[in-house]
Structures are given as structure tokens and as C-alpha cells.
Amino acid sequence: MLTRMTVDQSRLNPQPLLPYNLRLLDFQSAMQDVYDFFYDVNSHFAQRNLPRLDDMLRPAICSGVISDMLTESLAKHSRSLAVNTYFNGHPDLVVRGAYPNDKIKAGEKGVEIKSTRKKGGAVDTHGARDQWLAVFVYTVDTVTEPAVNREAMKFTEVYCGQVVADDFRKNERGELGTRTATLDKDGIAGLRRNWVYLDL
């Protein structure tokens, strides 16, 4: 049976350090938007005896979809940020009006959004750079049987912190692999200190 998830307000950090006029309410609303979307889609699928969206999407695709949804929703709810309209531009959210048409290939004013299933929020990025980084950690139940009894997708951790290029370690890849970087031990510890939401 499908459950409509709600954000547990008691799990929000009452005093996180947030940039660009972001509020706890913005994070709460963005997460709730994602919950409502998955509930609506999965309810529609269930009526037609189709698998949940969570089960149909490969993990990397699911994380990409959730990241894009969070980016759009945070832009909608925030007072100062807009979606970066440059395709694959960095960061995902830019300060509204800081760049022409809110479009920049690589800017400094904004927040990069990532989502991952990795506990602790150690997510791969496409480069080590100085930035504000928001990481949303979520869980997906892929093991409960029968599948109709699986738990809904759930956010368990959210972090938002300012990191610098020296906080990253570069990941070795083969000739055909895409180079990535991940926060090193000290970098991820710093990010986790500025937690926004914890529901472990």
C-alpha cells in the first residue's frame, strides 16, 4: 500500500548556516514536492498494475531526476536563487540576476545540488572547485517482497556547506571514464557539520 511521505519538521536543524537567503522552509518544501510527485506517479502506476517509478529507474537516473526536481523546487521557493539556464552549467542554482539570463557555464554565485543513496553524502562531482554544495541523501526500498509492500522513497540526510577545491580528492578512472572528484575525509566532515535534515 502506498504511503504519502511527509517531511518530519522535528528533524530539521534549527540553526544551519545557509547561503543566499535560503530558509529551512525552502528545503522542507522542496523535499515535500518530491514526495508528492513520487506519490502521485506511483499511485497512477499502481492503478494500472505497473511497477513503482523507484523500481523502474536505475540508481544513477533516479538520482539525476531527484536532483533536477530539487533544483527546480528550491528555485521556486527561494527568495534569491534561480535555475541556471545553461545546459549542464555550474552551479545548478544561481543568484537571480547575477548572470545574464541566469545563464552561466561555470559561475561562483549559487548552489550546486546533488542527490545520492550513499549514506553520509559523499557524492561524486564533475570537478573540485570552490562552491556551496547541497547534498540530499535518500533511501529506496528495493528488497521488500512482494514489491507492493515496499516503503516509499525517503530523504534521510541533507547537508549544505561551503567547500573549496582542496577539500576534494580526484577519482582515478580508465581511458573511457569521466573524471570525477569526491570530498575527502576532512571535506565531508566539514559538510556534515552544517547538516540541514537528519532522519536516520
pLDDT at 4: 92
**What distance, in Å, lies between the first and last C-alpha atoms of the chain?**
23
Pairwise CA distance, residues 177 & 84, whole Å: 26
DSSP state of 37: H
Burial class for 26, CB neighbours closer than 10 Å (0-12, 13-18, 19+): buried
Please count the other Cβ atoms lying within 10 Å of the Cβ belonging to residue 166. 11
pLDDT at 170: 78
pLDDT at 140: 96
Q: At what angle do helices 59-77 and 24-47 cross, to 10 degrees?
A: 130
CATH topology (fold) of 16-198: ECO RV Endonuclease; Chain A (3.40.600)
pLDDT at 13: 97
pTM (two decimals): 0.93
For the chain, the structural domain boundaries read 16-198
Nearest to 27 by CA among 121, 97, 111: 111
pLDDT at 186: 85
Buried b (16+ CB within 10 A) or exposed e, 98-123: bbeebebeebebbbbbbbbbeeebbb
Contact between 137 and 113 (Cβ < 8 Å): no
Per-position pLDDT tens, the chain of length 200: 788 999 999 999 999 999 999 999 999 999 999 999 999 999 999 999 999 999 999 999 999 999 999 999 999 999 999 999 999 999 999 999 999 999 999 999 999 999 999 999 888 777 778 899 999 999 999 999 998 899 999 999 999 999 888 878 877 665 655 667 888 888 899 899 999 999 98
Residues 6+ apart with CB under 8 A from 98: 107, 109, 110
Q: How many CA atoms lie within 13 A of 166 on its CB side?
A: 0
| Lookup result for grid cell 511521505 | 5
Q: 3-state DSSP call for residue 164? A: coil
